[in-house]
Amino acid sequence: MRIEKDALGTQEIPDSAYWGIHTSRSVQNFQVSGITEPSGMIEAMTMVKKAAALTHKELGLLKPEIGDAIAKACDEILAGSLRDQFPVDIFHMGAGTSLNMNVNEVLANRAVEILGGKKGDYTLIHPNDHVNMGQSTNDVFPTAMRVACRRKVEGLLTALKKLTEAFEAKGKEFWDIVKAGRTHLQDAVPIRLGQEFTAYASTMQKCRTALHQSATALEELGIGGTAVGTGLNAHPQLRFGIVEKLKAWTGLPFRPAENLFEAMQSQRPIMEVSSSLRNLTLELIRIANDLRLLSSGPRTGFAEVHLPAAIPGSSIMPGKVNPSIPEMLNMVCFQVMGCDLTISMAVQAGQLELNVMMPVMAYNLLFSIHILTNAISIFSEKCVTGITADEQQCRQYAESTLALSTVLNPYIGYAKSAEITREALATGKSMLTLLREKNLLPEEKIQELLHP
């Protein structure tokens, strides 16, 4: 063990630990969920620390050997090392101070080792004075949160692109298949099965565009504002140096915030992305439910399309296969909607110069993006791409739908068409049969109007 000291006293820290006394106090006080910070936040925080160390070295504010040691420690973490050294619960102290200090301590102790010292010898490199130099949790955490979420969105955009393409491909494949349309879950005029699927593709493309547009708000970073936005203790060029490095390392167009005070007070960009995810989930739920209806059966439902069998569907009914993938997608979407509510409550909870509810925002948004990306990829690959159509079933419904009377309106009028519809429903006779029995239209006109 080693002894570390802070303003509240001393504590024994395991000598093997790279974290220090602040992390220790956080673990003791916040045993809430057992869930630690997602890797995206650890990486984003580490990138900010590396950018700060290198910028301070360039500005002559950090000795080269100290800046280089911190940067090297950052590179090791970014490469996957020491990931077990971040035990802070996602529900910890407001604003994210515990995570910021956890990262500061791990980087300081690893950098001390790189310089030949022993963990805990903060005379060589100090978590606050060197790793956290020119920074505050109040500008580091929101910056890292935006960087982490913006990076994560890229995977979701890719998954949405693939899903859009899968729906487009099915639209082309099913283009010549005519089926009954349905509105209010009642018979409506015929539609091509391919038209339904191209509509799904168009919806996904619009959701993807909206998500990308909302994600651009995350690219404005408030680093350099330090405690309340004034930039106290930070070199005026620090924020520009950090942002340029983050931009180069990620390939994303990050930019310094126009107003550092606003960037600290308002977490609107997080809400914008969460809102886009909520809107996306509403559309995904609708489409998943459509597929569950269209594939219902196989003997007593619509059975117009067949979804790929993923897994046996019942522990008691042999041979039963369920729409398991769309069901999974629905549950993920419900979870994301719950996360969106949490984020909404957190975003409005800021007071004066700071919103301290950022840790719960960061976790819920990253979690939402993560599970949506995976669920959409599975839905696309294991469901949509393997959908097949029952052309005969579709045609049978298209020819028997009572809404075919709609095409008769211009020729026999709405009232007479409604009368034919009611009689067809009462007698079970087809529209074609009744039109012929009543001699309402010439045979050639009937054949022309009611041809699919």
Residues annotated as catalytic are 314
* Alpha carbon distance 250, 146 (integer Å): 12
* DSSP β-ladder status, 178-183 and 186-192: antiparallel
Report d(CA 145, CA 266) in Å as an integer.
Answer: 13
Separation CA 150–CA 276 (nearest Å) = 13
Neighbours of 369 (CB within 10 A): 27
Q: Could you tell me where the DSSP H helices lie in 59-96? A: 64-78
Which DSSP symbol is given to 452? -
**Left (φ > 0), alpha (ψ -120 to 50) or beta: where does 80 sit?**
left
Rounded CA-CA distance 58/62 in Å is: 8
Q: How many CB atoms lie within 10 A of CB 223?
A: 31
Sequence-separated (6 or more) residues with CB below 8 Å from residue 261:
225, 228, 229, 353
Give the separation between CA 331 and CA 338, rounded to whole angstroms.
11
Residues 6+ apart with CB under 8 A from 225: 136, 138, 139, 231, 234, 239, 257, 260, 261, 263, 264
Q: Please, where are the H alpha helices in 295-356?
A: 324-347
- Cα-based angle 442, 398, 293 (whole degrees, multiple of 5): 165
Residue pair 151/252 in contact by the 8 Å Cβ criterion: yes
Are 359 and 99 in contact by the 8 Å Cβ rule? The answer is yes
Cis? peptide before 442, omega within 30° of 0: no
